[in-house]
Amino acid sequence: MKSKITLKDLAAILGVSVSTVSKALSDNPEISLPTRKKIKQAAEAYNYIPNNIAQSLKAKSTKTLGVIIPAILLEFFSKVLYGIEIEATQRGYKIVICLSNELLKKESESINTFITGSVDGIILSLAEETQRLKSYNHFQKAQQYNLPMVMFDRVVEEIPCDKVTVDDFEGAFNATKFLHELGERKILFLNTIHSITVGVLREQGYVEAMKSLKLDPQVLRLENYNQIEKELTKMLQSEKFDAILAAEEYSAALAMNVARLNGLHVPNDISVMGFTNGLLAEHAIPSLTVVSQHAEFIGRSAVKLLLDRIENKLPEEPVHKVIKTRIIERNSTKHKK
C-alpha cells in the first residue's frame, strides 16, 4: 500500500540532495562511483520509479505518439495499428489511440486532445466524413502548433505533411491486367468506397487499365453493403461477366456469395478479386485472390517517418512514401494456363 516514492523521499532517506540522487540515477559521472552505487541500491530497495509526467513536463517531450484511425474493426486498420505499435515500442515510444469512427467531429476532437501536449506527434488516416466534406481546419491547427503529423492510406493533398500511401492506382491497374492475362475480358469494378480517395484511385487504376486493354470499363458504385446483393444480382442477371474486381475485401467476399446465389461457380464461371489481405480473404471459400497493401509495413513506415521528422532527420519539405502493392493469388480467380 505504499504510495509512490519520489526523488525527494529518496534524498531524505539517504541524507543527500535531490540533485545528487537524480544525477546518480542517470549515471552522471559528476557523482562518485560509490555514492552512485549506494543510491542505485536504495532506489532499487525502495522500488523507486521515476514519474514520467514530471519528466515530460521538464523535457517537453512525452515519448508518446497519437494515432487516429477511422475504424478498428476494419482489419486493414488493425493491421496497420499492429505495425505502428511494434515500431513505436521498438523505438521507445508509447501510442495513444483515438478512433474517429469515420466522423469529422471525433477526428477533430482527437487532434485537439493531442495538441494539448500529450503527444510528440500524430499518425492518422482520414475519416470518410472528413474526406467527403473536405474540411481540413483541424489539421492546419495541428500544424500551427508545430505538432508533426503523418497521414497514411487516406491522405489529403492540401495539407503539407509527411505521408505514407499505397499505390492504389497501380494496384488496381495491375489487378485488372492480371485478370486480363487469365483470359477475363468483361470485368466489373465494384466500388463501395468511392467517397474516399483510396476508392477513387482504385477505380481510376481499373478504368485506365481497361482502356489500355481496349476493353469497356464497367463500374458499379454502391453506398453501402446492404445494396450489394440486390444491385449486383441485377447486373449479373442482365449480362455475363468474366470477373469482378472489388474495391475492398469485404465487398469481394460478399460478391462471391452473390455470384454463387446466382448459380455461378467461382472461379470457373466468374473470377472474383479484392483488395486487402485479411482473414476474410484467407479463409473465404474459395480463398480470395487479393491486392495486398502490406498494412503492417505501412504502420511501421508511418512511425519511422514521424520519428525521423521529430528527430529532425528529414529534409524540410514533406516526404511522401508510396508502398507498392502485391497480388496474392488464391482460388477465387482462374488459374493461369
Residues making contact with DNA (CB under 7 A): 4, 6-8, 15-20, 22-23, 25-26, 30-32, 35, 50-51, 54-55, 57-60
Shortest distance in whole angstroms from residue 99 CB to a copy of itself: 5
H helical segments located in the chain? 7-14, 18-25, 33-45, 52-59, 75-90, 104-113, 128-133, 137-144, 168-181, 197-212, 226-238, 249-261, 279-283, 295-310
Q: Residue 43 Cβ, how far from DNA at the closest point, in Å? A: 10
- Binding site partner of 188, from DNA, a copy of itself, none, Cβ cut-off 5-8 A by kind: none
Judged by beta carbon, residue 33 or residue 279, the one nearer a copy of itself is 279
Strands of 271-275's sheet in order across: 218-221, 187-191, 243-246, 271-275, 289-292, 326-328
Q: Footprint of a copy of itself on this chain (CB under 8 A)?
A: 1-4, 47, 49-54, 56-57, 62, 64, 72-73, 75, 78-79, 81-82, 85-86, 89, 94-99, 106, 112-113, 115-118, 144-146, 250, 253-254, 256-257, 260, 279-280, 283-285
Q: Alpha-carbon distance 44 to 210, whole Å?
A: 68
Nearest distance, CB of residue 22 and a copy of itself, angstroms: 15
Minimum gap (Å) between residue 49 Cβ and a copy of itself: 5
Nearest residue (CB) to DNA, 49 versus 285: 49
Separation between Cα atoms, residue 55 and residue 66, nearest integer Å? 19
Residue by residue, DSSP assigns 182-193 as TT--SEEEEES-
Min separation Cβ 97 and DNA, Å: 24
The pairing of strands 121-124 and 94-99 is unpaired
19 binds, among a copy of itself, DNA, none (CB under 5 to 8 A by kind): DNA
6 binds, among a copy of itself, DNA, none (CB under 5 to 8 A by kind): DNA
